[in-house]
Structure 1
Amino acid sequence: MKKQIVQFATPVTLVGGGALGVDDLETALALAPDLIAADGGAGPALAAGYMPEAVIGDFDSLRRADRDRIPPDRLFPIREQDSTDFDKAIRSISAPLVLAVGFLGARVDHQLAAFNVLVRYPERPCVLLGAREVVFHAPPALALDLTPGAIVSLFPMRAVTGRSQGLEWPIDGVDLAPDRRVGTSNRALGEVRIETDGPGLLVIVPRDALEGVMRVLAPGAFPPAPASGPAPARA
């Protein structure tokens, strides 16, 4: 069992040192207000005016000037070099869900390493927020309301099978594997339901589905969504 350094009862935002959109932090913090930084991710957080509640990593990319601004009791160095800072952070955070920004859109090797972590810690729900998409590991059963026509890509990080409803091209009877069949650029017909027979499947959906994805992955951490129906009449 990996040691958990910080514990939260609600979803948290994790910021990395990769590509960060102009409104990524604000978007994430509106849904997950507690902020954790993975090593050098503390820099952009501080630059945007946010003080991380914890900084986790080997600190090889944390600038001295940034480190000096952070209270010592919020610094949690993990010196081993056998894992990425994203890995160190994910295994050290106890929370219903981690919303991670600054891990997509920069170096490809870093993105691949982040995907690897999503698959290796399926018991720790995490959503990667990118410029146009969000990426997460599929739970055993998933039901997600999407706009008809929305792109849904399913990328297997290991051999996996499953079933689906609400996709233009169902995955029933399809053997998905990184070196064989993948599910790029499928389309939603509306509500999408996916069941998998084991871990290893990454789901990539449009960024505007972020809040819905978070509610599905951590249903107990959010108040119920407003009921749909006609707006109340004005008095």
Structure 2
Amino acid sequence: MARFQKRYIKVIMPVIVHSDEPIALIGGGRVTTQDVAWARKHCKILVAADGGADRALELEWVPETIIGDFDSLSTRAQASVSADRLFQISEQDSTDFDKCLRNIEAPLILGLGFTGRRIDHTLAAFSTLSVRAGKRCLLLSEEEVIFLAPPSITLDLPNGCAFSLYPLGRVEGRSEGLVWPIDGIPMQPDGRVGTSNRVDETGRVALAVDAPKMLVIVPRAHADQVLESCLASSSWG
């Protein structure tokens, strides 16, 4: 009897949205006019995750593209963009945020409306940042800007600025410029975490981590500095 060996071929699907500049991505969570003003300062293109398109229209920013399973997208929002810019991905094994993130190629993605309201949606968004570690993405919340720590990053922040680290899995790192350095401290969700740290008097934080598992949480008042640092940082590839 002949023996056959299974062959597995990795299929690379084409990315939907390409840009050489940062892209804004809006979800169905809480988004304010201030959030939109900040994003529009840095982005020319807006992508909507499913029902986030309705929120975008309410805030008078028409998305260029809509991606998602379309279970919460209104007829009005669908009609706001041309049919060739509607990308329905019906599978239910991933969130709309994940569907968008994996289909956007840009130097940086600014995520609005993916935190707050429902904690399960917020937690899912955080997990997706780790799953899609090769995508630089900032999530803007009501009080903070949140992002996955790249292999290394340097941020200029004022003395005393809150600087929290939260591990999504086991991860270790090194730091300079924090009141409580993290060197040599294994972190994980059910063990040691790094919340409520602060920037020391140097006003410059250098952070390096050994895995794409660490969230960085900084007051949103410093979102511009964080954006510039993320663009200049290395990536997980």
TM-score by length of 1: 0.91
Mapped contact 2:27–2:48 kept (Cα < 8 A):
yes
Q: CA deviation at 1:140?
A: 0.6
Mapped contact 1:38–1:89 kept (Cα < 8 A):
yes
Partner residue, 1:140:
151
Q: 2:98 aligns with which of 75, 79, 87?
A: 87
Q: CA deviation at 1:29?
A: 1.3
Q: CA deviation at 1:21?
A: 2.3
Runs (4+) of structure 1 exceeding 4 A deviation are none
Partner residue, 2:36:
25
Q: Does 1:196 align with 2:196?
A: no
Q: Distance in 2 between matches of 1:66 and 1:91?
A: 22
Q: CA deviation at 1:141?
A: 0.7
- Mark the CA change 1:105 to 1:4 in structure 2 (over 3 Å): closer, same or farther: same
Q: Does 1:43 align with 2:54?
A: yes
Aligned amino acid, residue 202 of structure 1: L
Q: Distance in 2 between matches of 1:4 and 1:217?
A: 22
Aligned amino acid, residue 92 of structure 2: Q
- Equivalenced residue count is 220
Could you list the per-position Cα deviations for residues 62-88 of structure 1 after superposition, in whole angstroms to 9, with x for gaps in the alignment?
Answer: 012221232212111111111000000
Q: Distance in 1 between matches of 2:80 and 2:38?
A: 24
Mapped contact 2:64–2:81 kept (Cα < 8 A):
no
Mapped contact 1:38–1:55 kept (Cα < 8 A):
yes
Question: Which residues in structure 2 correspond to 1:148-187 (within 5 Å)?
Answer: 148-187=159-198
Could you list the per-position Cα deviations for residues 174-222 of structure 1 after superposition, in whole angstroms to 9, with x for gaps in the alignment?
Answer: 11001100011100111111111122000000102211111122239xx
Q: Distance in 1 between matches of 2:64 and 2:151?
A: 32
Q: Distance in 2 between matches of 1:133 and 1:2?
A: 34
Q: CA deviation at 1:117?
A: 0.6
Partner residue, 1:213:
226
Aligned amino acid, residue 182 of structure 2: I
Secondary structure (helix, strand or coil) at the match of 1:194 reads: strand
Structure 2 unaligned runs (5+)? Answer: 1-11
Q: What percentage of aligned pairs have identical amino acids?
A: 48
Could you list the per-position Cα deviations for residues 22-47 of structure 1 after superposition, in whole angstroms to 9, with x for gaps in the alignment?
Answer: 31111111112211100000001111
Q: 2:71 aligns with which of 55, 60, 68?
A: 60
Q: CA deviation at 1:134?
A: 0.4
Q: Distance in 2 between matches of 1:212 and 1:68?
A: 37
Aligned amino acid, residue 194 of structure 1: L
Partner residue, 1:74:
85
Could you list the per-position Cα deviations for residues 213-232 of structure 1 after superposition, in whole angstroms to 9, with x for gaps in the alignment?
Answer: 11122239xxxxxxxxxxxx
Mapped contact 1:2–1:91 kept (Cα < 8 A):
no
Q: CA deviation at 1:16?
A: 0.3
